[in-house]
Structure 1
Amino acid sequence: MSLPSEKEEVFYFEEIPVQDEENDTTEKTYTLSACPATYDSNLPAKRGGATLTPVTSEGKTLLYLIGGANRAAEAFNDVHVFDYDKKRWTQASPQDNSAFEPRSGHTSIAIGACIYVFGGANLREGKVYNDLHILNTDTMEWTSPCADGDIPPPRSSHIAVALPQGMLIFGGSSPLVGGMNDTFLLTSKDGHFTWKSIASPEAATLAKRELHSACVLNNLVYICGGRLESGELCDELSILDTETWTWTIESMPAWRRCAHVSGVVHNQWLHFGGWDGGAEFCDDCWQLALDVRSSCCKAPMRQVELNGQGNGRFAHCGCVVDDKLVIFGGMTVQDDLNDTLILH
C-alpha cells in the first residue's frame, strides 16, 4: 500500500554574509517533498512528541520511530522502522517492550547499534520520567540499566545529543519544577553508566526552556528556540564548548520558534515548522550557517500543498540522512499527522 503521489514545495534561501555587506548573496534552494512511503500492515499511528533516530549498519540506514502521543493524551511505546532506501515502514516487536512505558517528549540518540532513550512524560497517567532505556537494534531488545552519579530530575521536552564522551541532555520541563536550564552527561564504562552534572559560571544565565532544538558540529553543541517559563519564546542561541564546558550566549531576535524539527544539511542548520507564538503552526523553513552565525535567515518560498493539506505542524520529529532532513508526523491545529516528508 502507498501514500498519495509525491508533490514538492520549494524553499528559496539567501545566505547573508556577516562582515562584508556589499558581497553578493548566494541563493540556496531547498525542496520539501511528500515521501510516497509503503508499509506492511499499517502506518504508525498519528502522533506528536515522538523521536526518529537513524542507525546505519553495513551501509544501510534505518530510522527508528519511538513513542509519542496524540491530542487525546494517548501515549505510545511502540517502535516502527523506516527503511530509508526502500521508503518502507515496518512495525518492530522488541523483546521486553513492556519495560519501556508509553511516553512522549523523550529524547533518543544512537551510539553504534544502540538507541539511548531518556525521560519523557505520560500526561494521561500524570507521570514524568528520568529513566534510561536502551534499544539494541541488532537484537531488537530493550534493556533498562541503572545509572549512578548526578541523576537528572524527571523531565520532558528537553534535548539530547551524542558526543564522543556519551549522551548530553539539556533543559526541558516538568510540572513539579517548571522549566530547566541544567546540563548532564551520561557516560559508560564496562557496562556501568554514570551521570555527571555539567556546571559552569555561565550556566546560571541560560534561559530555562522546553521544546527547543540542538545540533553538534565539531566540539560545539548549538541550542536554539524553545518556550520559556513565562510562555514567551526564546530568542537565545546557546553554544556549549564540550572541550572547556563553557557556554557562549548569542541573541537571535529575528527568529523565535518551539516544537520544530531541525538538522544540519550541508553545514546549514535547517529548522522546519513549529510554533512562533501565532494563531497557527508554521510551515516555513529557516537556516543558520554554523560557520558564520550572522542570524537565522528566511527567504521567499513558493507554497505547494502536500497530500491535499497545508504543511504547518507542531511536535513533529525528524533526523538527517544523506544530507536530507526526514520528517514524520506532528500535529496541526485540527488534527494529528503520520505523514513522511523529506527536506533537501
Structure 2
Amino acid sequence: MIRLCILLSFFALAEWTNVVVDSDLPSKRAGHTISNYNGELYLFGGCDLDTACYSDVYRFNMTVNMWELLNPTGDIPTAREGHIAAVVGSKLYISGGTTLTDLLDETNILDLTTLEWKEAELGGSIEPRAYHAAALHDSGLIFIFGGYTSEGLSNEVILLDTVNNHWGYPASVGSVPSARKYHSLSRIGDFVWLFGGETDSGAVKDLYYYDIDERHWYKQDTSGSPLARQGHATAVSGDSFYVSAGCNSDTRYCYSDLYKFYTENNTWDKVDSGSTFSPREGHAIEFIGGNLYAFGGRFLTESSYGDFLVFETNETCPNGCSRNGECTDYGCDCYGGYTGSDCSYETTCRMNCNSHGVCDDYTCVCYSGYYGSYCQGIINCPNNCTSSEQGTCQSSGECLCTDGYTGDDCSEKEDWKMCQDSCINGSCDSNNDCVCSSGWVGKNCDTEAPVVYHKSSSYDISINLSDDLEYGASKESYDGSSSSYSSSGSYSDDDTSDYRSSDTGESDDYYMVESEDVEVSEESFDNITDSQDASANMTQYDNSTHLLVPQMFGFTDPNDPNSYYTQNLRRDPVEVEKSDYLEELEDKQEDRQDEIEECQMMCNYHGVCSDATCYCEEGYTGTLCEYEEDEADNGIKLTTAIIIMMLFWIIGCAYGCYRIKKIMEEVRAREESKVEEKDDFVGLED
C-alpha cells in the first residue's frame, strides 16, 4: 500500500489555486482583458454585470505579488467590455467594445513605458463592434475576426496595421467560419487558430485556422474537443494553446474545465485542474512563465467574480525559448527582434525595411538618406551624408551633421574629433594634441614604448621612452659598460632612484625594475635592439586606430589603413524605376522565404538554420535534426531512466499484489481445511 501511494504521487496533477496577494484585488468584473508585458500583467476595462463599467488599468507584479492601480495620463479611453487588446512592442492597443448601451469603434494606445494614453489616428474605418477576437502577427499586424455589430454578427477578417496606422480588409477564401461573437483567436507559427463562440444557431465547438500569407481558411477536424461554448478564454504556450471554461447560453450551462490543444499533432487533451475554479465566462487568462493566471468573469447574467487564481503548468520556457532567448523564472526573455511565449516569432517589419533601415518595435527606423514606412523613399543628400554615424539626411536634401563632423556631406572631422578618434592611448589637450599615457608613444599614442635592455648589469632595466626621445634608442646609445647609460637620463650601479627627464624634470617618464643579474649575449642583444628600432620607427598613419599588422583588423590594403572604412560606407543611392524596384524587393522576399522553408520545422528546435542548412545541437542528428544520436556513449538520459524506473515500479506493484492475493488464497484454503477437519472430528466423537 505504501508503495502504491508513492507511485500515485508521481502522477499528482496541478490544480487551480487562489493567489494570495499583498494588495487589494481589482474589483469584480467580466469582459476585461489581461496582457503580458515584460513578465507583468496589465488588466484593462470590463463591466460588473449591468451595474458599472471600467476604464482603469491594473498591473500585477509576480515578484512582489501585488496588484497596482495605475494612473495613466493622456486621452483616457471610454469604460467598456468586450474589446480586444494586443501588445505591439511596448504599446498596448485597445479597440472596440461596448458600454452596454453603445458599440465602440475607437482605438486607444497605452505606452507601457510612459503610461500615457492616446487615441490612435488610423486611416480607413471599422464598423463599431464588441466581443470580437484578435491575435498579433509578427509584422505589427493585429488580426481581428468577427464580433457583434449594429448589423448583427460578423465573420469579417480585419487587419490593424500598426506600422502604417491603417485598417485593412483582406479577402478570405477557403472554409470561412460562420459569423460569431465571444470566440477566441490564438496565433501559433504561421497560423491563427479560431475556436468556438456563439453563432446565430447557438454556441459551437468548431476549430479553424487561418494562413495570413495565403489569406486562406481551413477547418480542422479533431476528436475529444471541448463542448460547445462561448465566452471562454485562451492563452498560448509555445506551439500549444489552452482553453478555459466558457458557457452555453442555450442550455444555460457554464464550464470550469481546462483543455490544451497541440498544434503539432492537432489533438486535444483535457487537463485535470481541480475543483477550485468556478464555472464562468468573460474571464481572462494569461501566462507568466509556466504559471497560468486567471481573473474575474461571470456566471451568465446572474453574478460576476473578482477572484484571482493560478495554475502551474510546469512549462516555464516552451521549446527552450527556440534558442532566441534566455529562460528565466518569468518565462522566456527574448533576444532583440524576437517575441512570443517561446521567442519563436521575429518582430519583423514589413518588407524588411527594404534593407534601408533597422526594425525597432515593428517600426522601420530608416538609415540616413531614406524615408517612408518601409524606408522605400530615397532622399538625394550630398554623398548620402557619408554615413549614418556622421550625418542624417533631412527631407530638405541637406545633411544634419552629428557632433564632431562638418561639411556639406558631413565627411570632414572637426579638430577635436580627429584628435579624439586618433588618440588611442591618451587624451586630447586644449590644443587638440594627443597627450600619451605612460607606456605609449607616437603621434596618436598607438605604439607601445620599446623596452631597452642593458647588456650586463645587476639590474634588469626597463625604460619606457617618451616622445622627446624620437621613438627609441639604438645600440650606440650605450657606452658598453654596466654602470652608465646616456640619452636623457643617467644610471650607475649605486644609483637606484627613479629616472627623470632631463628637459622636463617630470617623473614617471622612465622607470626601473630590480631583478637578479641578467647576462645577455651579444647576438641576443643585437636582435633585441633591432626589434626595438623597428618598433620605434614604425610608420605612423593619420586617423588610424590600429597600426600593427593592418590585415588583422580588416584592412584590405596594408598601405592604406583607411581602406576598411571606405569599403564599408554605404554606396550612393541609385535611382531605379519604381516597378523594377518593387519587383526586385519581391524577389528578395521570396528568396528569403524559400531559404527559411528549406529548414522545415525550424530544425525541429534542435538546431540552428543557416543558409538553408540545419546545424544540430549536441545529441541530435539528421538533415532536420530529427533523430537523437546513439546514447550508448553518453549513458541513459534522466527522463529515460525515470520512465524505466516507473515501469519497473508498476510491474513490481502488480507482481506484489498478485503474490499477496495468492498468499491470502492459500491462508484462506488452510483455514477452511482446518475447519473441515474439526467438523469431521466432532462428527466422529458423536
Counterpart residue number, 1:206 = 177
2:289 aligned to which of 322, 325, 330:
322
1: CA distance between counterparts of 2:275 and 2:168? 47
Shift, 1:171, TM fit: 0.8
SS in structure 2 at match of 1:272: strand
In the TM superposition, residue 46 of structure 1 has moved relative to its aligned partner by 0.6
C-alpha displacement of 1:318: 1.7
> CA 1:114–1:292 in 2, change beyond 3 Å: closer, same or farther?
same
Asked if the contact 1:261/1:327 (under 8 Å) is kept, the reply is no
**Residue 318 of structure 1 aligns to which amino acid in structure 2?**
I
**Selected match of 2:188 from 189, 192, 217:** 217
Residue type of the alignment partner of 2:134: A
Inter-partner Cα distance in structure 1 for 2:192 and 2:44: 24
Instruction: Say which SS state the counterpart of residue 204 (structure 2) adopts.
Output: coil
1:78 to 56, 67, 88: 56
- What is the aligned-residue identity percentage? 23
Q: Name the counterpart of 1:339.
A: 307
Counterpart secondary structure, 1:122 = coil
**8 Å contact from structure 1 (residues 235, 252) kept in 2:** no
Distance 2:290 2:170 in 1: 31
Could you tell me how far 1:29 is from its partner in structure 2?
4.2
- Please report how far the alpha carbon of residue 73 of structure 1 lies from its aligned counterpart in structure 2 after TM superposition: 4.2
Deviation at 1:311, TM superposition (A): 1.5
2 CA distance for matches of 1:147 and 1:227? 29
1:50 is matched with which residue? 32
Helix, strand or coil for the counterpart of 1:209?
Answer: coil
| Structure 2: distance between partners of 1:323 and 1:156 | 30
8 A Cα contact 1:178 1:229, kept in partner: no
Work out the CA distance in 2 between the residues paired with 1:142 and 1:199: 32
**How many residues are paired up?**
297
How far off its partner does 1:266 sit? 5.2
Q: Distance in 2 between matches of 1:280 and 1:236?
A: 18
Q: 1:121 aligns with which of 90, 98, 120?
A: 98
Residue aligning to 1:103:
80
Give 5+ residue unaligned stretches, structure 1.
1-26
Task: Quote the Cα distance in structure 2 between the aligned partners of 1:302 and 1:116.
Answer: 32
- Taking structure 1 as reference, are residues 186 and 302 closer, same or farther at Cα in structure 2, changes over 3 Å only? closer
Task: Summarize the Cα distance change of 1:147–1:323 in structure 2 as closer, same or farther, 3 Å threshold.
Answer: same
Which of the residues 23, 26, 33 maps onto 2:17? 33
Letter in 2 for 1:312: P
- The answer to whether the 8 Å contact 2:32/2:43 transfers is yes
- 2:244 is matched by which residue type in structure 1? F
Counterpart residue identity of residue 105, structure 1: G
CA distance in 1, matches of 2:37, 2:12: 29
Larger radius of gyration: 2
Please identify which structure carries the higher strand content. 1
Distance in 1 (alpha carbons) for counterparts of 2:49 and 2:158: 30
* Rounded Cα–Cα distance in structure 2 between residues aligned with 1:251 and 1:235: 11
Distance 1:185 1:268 in 2: 23
Contact 2:188/2:240 (8 A) holds in 1: no
Kept in 2: contact 1:186–1:194 (CA 8 A): yes
Say if 1:163 and 1:266 are closer, same or farther in 2 by CA, change over 3 A. closer
Q: Which residue of 2 aligns with 1:193?
A: 165
Cα distance in 2, alignment partners of residues 32 and 65 from structure 1: 20
1:137: how far off? 1.1
User: How far apart in 1 are the matches of 2:35 and 2:129?
Assistant: 20
Structure 1 counterpart of 2:27, one-letter code? A
State the partner residue of 1:132: 107
Q: Is the 8 A contact 2:15 2:274 kept in 1?
A: no
Within 5 Å, which residues of 2 pair with 1:1-344? 29-39=13-23, 42-56=24-38, 61-98=39-76, 100-123=77-100, 126-149=101-124, 151-165=125-139, 166-174=141-149, 176-189=150-163, 192-202=164-174, 205-230=176-201, 232-251=202-221, 254=225, 255-265=227-237, 267-276=239-248, 277-294=250-267, 296-298=268-270, 301=272, 303-305=274-276, 311-332=278-299, 334-343=302-311, 344=313
Structure 2 distance, partners of 1:247, 1:50, is: 28
Deviations 1:183-231 (A, max 9, x none): 1111133xx401110212226x42111111111111110010100023x
Q: For 1:217 and 1:270, locate their aligned partners in 2 and report how far apart those are by CA, in whole Å.
A: 12
What SS does the aligned partner of 2:308 have?
Answer: strand
User: 2: CA distance between counterparts of 1:32 and 1:70?
Assistant: 23
SS at 1:274 equivalent: strand
**Structure 2 counterpart of 1:4:** none
Uncovered stretches (5+) of structure 2, i.e. residues with no partner? 1-10, 314-686
Superposed CA offset, 1:148-169 (max 9, x none): 13x2211111111111222111
RMSD of equivalent CA atoms:
2.1
Are the structure 2 counterparts of residues 252 and 154 from structure 1 closer, same or farther at C-alpha, using a change threshold of 3 Å? farther
Measured in 2, the distance between the counterparts of 1:181 and 1:339 equals 33
Write the distance in 1 (CA, Å) between the matches of 2:111 and 2:273.
42
Deviations 1:79-129 (A, max 9, x none): 11111222210100010253x001000011101211001100011xx2111
Residues 265 and 324 in structure 1, CA contact (< 8 A), matched pair in contact too: no
* Residue in 2 that maps onto 1:3: none
Offset, 1:28: 9.8
Verify the 8 A CA contact 1:266 1:323 in the aligned structure 2.
no
CA distance in 1, matches of 2:106, 2:12: 42
Question: For the structure 1 residues 298 and 196, does the alpha-carbon distance in structure 2 shift closer, same or farther, using more than 3 Å as the test?
Answer: same
Q: Distance in 1 between matches of 2:231 and 2:263?
A: 21
